[in-house]
A and B are shown apart, each in its own frame.
Chain A
């Protein structure tokens, strides 16, 4: 591992949701996150990829404290924040921010951009008004908007500008880690490129660390240094982006990469082989979760749950037969 310091460490994090019947009796658990462990180094962009329902958004929300963890530890800048009450964790979470899919949609339509940008500072800091105003103006310039926009209302600016204001609002508290939840899904390629460039330049400017949750593998490949691949609440493979994309070890990662259309290459639709869809997280298969769709599955996979093996230089995979 490189010498860069670890800023966020996740250890055996679990989030189970109870499944209840009509009479509110618990009849099972929805195991959305099951022993997820990884660490994030300062300044890097860690991509978290997987299909819908694999728990990637729940992971982001559990780190943020929007959901409380069922078990496990989240060590952020030296403090365990997983089990803290909301009021205790506030001073740590100031530096850990969550960015929803469309940050512009979270602006209050009846507030001016100025009020929206001041709010986080009022809540979290005791800065006097002039200093807040200076901070707000600085951030607004950083996201590429003119200061005249401060007095406008969200409906008076375009959707793309709203997104920028949303990002500015997240940055006013000078966070060190930002969790980006599907920041580009639903965008056209040309707009997506603009947003990605903005995210990269902001990271440079403010020394940010990103947790980039996405299902778009080509975007992840472009901007992340490391990637964690999730399947049904588990990290099945984690490592350097280049290592994973050039030599995926886990059969799930291999199928996921094989499914991306590659312009100019052979047609995926002529060769794609993975059958079926992920099973329901309320009724997980025994042993390895991927064995029901895995081309390499054998008896051992049903009996034994594979753990992440660090058998390769820059990546780890949770599969008995990965080579």
Chain B
């Protein structure tokens, strides 16, 4: 598709350890369109964060290995791009990251203003296309650009509804609340005018009322600016709130991809159905998923969900199901997918 902003194809990443090689991502396909808010959901350990980090090119260098695959973004393959180009042109510029815990993402010994200045010095959108893009630490930060950057910063801090932005810039990270730190993180993510924001569980550390505020803000700003968001979460409620489409991952592979309404109304993969069933609801009582998530060092062959799936047959044990289209936007990887009319299990 022409409007694809980023497409990940057949990505395999493994981590070496004493116990063996863990295949954390095993043939993941994912394509995000410009301006789309995409949810990436799954249980802990399913590879959500590894995928996010692989896109950003910040996998731990000594333990992670990219076995195969490509990440196409803006006509280039990010996996083969040299680190220097990645650092100066892509990471922090066109693809930015909002971390899970905003309290550890700031440096505690500098004021928020200093940290935003540092960001703008190297990642300001005013730099784009300029000759002095690849700056060293000692390069100057011209006065005019600094003033223009400062004006943008204050404007964006107002947009994320921080009261009294000038005063916030003079504060240290511990002097503002968790919700405000997350607002600052969103502002900092949007300052370089990126095309893709990777938000890694941005609201798990927050209370429900603050979560509602932050999600609202993220959705609104992404829409206004046409920024695509990859929103990883294990909270299906939060995904329902803001996503256009949702991708489910299980044990290092994507299993289903659907528009948000289709996802919640007509889940086609047995795992998705079980995940939705285990949400607390007053009608059905509490239902878990039998069994445990597989060890990634020697994962089950074929469909990785087959040991926990009651629909599993011989073919599930040997062959990974290919993606099948349920409708134009909804695809699923399952040999025995649930049909739309099937009642809840």
By a beta-carbon cutoff of 8 Å, the part of chain A in contact with chain B is: 51-52, 158, 160, 188-194, 196-197, 200, 215, 217-219, 221-223, 255-256, 258-264, 267-270, 272, 274-275, 277
By the criterion CB–CB under 8 Å, are A222 and B282 in contact?
yes
Most buried by B among A196, A261, A262, A267: A261
* A residues in contact with B276, CB < 8 Å: 263
Per the 8 Å Cβ criterion, residues 172-218 of B in contact with A are: 177-180, 207-213, 215-216
Judge whether B219 and A269 touch: CB under 8 Å: yes
**Size category of the binding interface on chain B:** 35 or more
Q: Which 8 A-B pairs have the closest CB atoms?
A: A261-B237, A193-B288, A194-B288, A51-B207, A188-B43, A190-B289, A269-B216, A259-B212
A274 to B212, CA, bound (A): 9
Contact between chains at B288 and A51 (CB < 8 Å) = no
Contact across chains for B212 and A193 when beta carbons are under 8 A apart: no
Question: Are A190 and B278 also in contact (CB < 8 A) when A268-B212, A272-B213 are?
Answer: yes
- Looking at the complex, which one of A158, A194, A215, A219 makes contact with B280 (CB distance below 8 Å)? A219
B73 beta carbon closer than 8 Å to chain A: no
B118-143 with Cβ < 8 A to chain A: none
A295 CB to closest chain B CB, in angstroms?
A: 13
Contact A261 B43 (CB under 8 A): no
Q: Is B241 an interface residue (CB 8 A)?
A: yes
A275, B179: Cα distance in complex, Å: 11
Contact of B240 among A218, A263, A275 (CB under 8 A): A263
Contacting pair A52 B207 (CB below 8 A):
yes
Q: Quick check: A263 and B278 within 8 Å, CB to CB?
A: no
In whole angstroms, what is the CA distance A197 to B235 when docked?
Answer: 20
Q: Which residue of A lies closest to B279 (CB)?
A: A189
A262 touches B278 (CB 8 A): no
Residue of A nearest to B261 (CB): A264
Residues of B within 8 A of A194 (CB): 288
8 Å CB contact of A189 from B178, B236, B238: B236
| B68 CB within 8 Å of chain A | no
Asked if B28 is an interface residue, CB under 8 A from chain A, the answer is no
The answer to the question of B339 belonging to the interface, with a C-beta cut-off of 8 Å to chain A, is no
Q: Kindly state the separation between the CA atoms of A270 and B264 in the bound complex, as whole angstroms.
A: 19
Q: Do A277 and B179 contact each other (CB < 8 Å), given the known contacts A260-B237, A267-B241? A: yes
Decide if A262 touches B237 in the complex (CB within 8 Å).
yes
B207 touches A261 (CB 8 A): no
Report whether B209 and A189 are in contact in the complex, using a CB–CB cutoff of 8 Å.
no
**What residues on A are CB-neighbors of B238 within 8 Å?**
261
- A274 partner residues in chain B, CB cutoff 8 A: 209, 212-213
Chain B residues, CB < 8 A from A277 = 177, 179-180, 209-210
Nearest opposing residue in chain B for A188, CB measure: B43
Q: Which residue of A lies closest to B211 (CB)?
A: A259
* Inter-chain contacts of B265 with A (CB < 8 A): 264
Q: Determine whether the beta carbon of B264 is less than 8 Å from that of A261.
A: no
> By CB atoms of chain A within 10 A, which of B212, B264, B274, B278 has the most?
B212
Query: Taking the complex as formed, is B313 at the interface, i.e. its CB lies under 8 A from any CB of chain A?
Result: no
Chain A residues, CB < 8 A from B236: 189, 263
- In the bound assembly, the distance between CA atoms of A262 and B241 in angstroms comes to 8
> What string of 1s and 0s marks CB contacts (under 8 Å) between B231-247 and chain A?
00011111011100000
CB contact under 8 A between A215 and B289, given known A188-B43, A192-B278: no
For the complex formed, measure the closest distance between the CB of A218 and the CB atoms of chain B, giving whole angstroms.
5
**Interface residue? B298 (CB, 8 A):** no
Contact A260 B278 (CB under 8 A): no
A158-B292, A190-B274, A193-B280 known; A269 vs B241 contact (CB < 8 Å): yes
B43 adjacent to A51 (CB under 8 Å): no
A-B contacts, 14 of them at CB < 8 A, read A52-B207, A188-B43, A191-B288, A192-B278, A196-B286, A197-B288, A219-B280, A222-B282, A223-B286, A260-B208, A263-B240, A267-B240, A277-B209, A277-B210
- Asked if B107 is at the interface (CB within 8 A of a chain A CB), the reply is no
Chain A residue with the shortest CB-CB distance to B208: A259
Q: Which residues of chain B come closer than 8 Å to A189, judged between CB atoms?
A: 43, 234, 236, 275, 278-280
Tell me if B287 counts as interface (CB < 8 A to partner A). Answer: yes
* Most A C-beta atoms less than 10 A away, residue of B236, B237, B265: B237
Q: Is there a chain A Cβ closer than 8 Å to B114's Cβ? A: no
Using Cβ atoms and an 8 Å threshold, which residues of chain B touch A264?
240, 264-265
Report how far A34 CA is from B280 CA in the complex, Å. Answer: 32
Task: Give A258 to B241 CA distance when docked, in angstroms.
Answer: 13
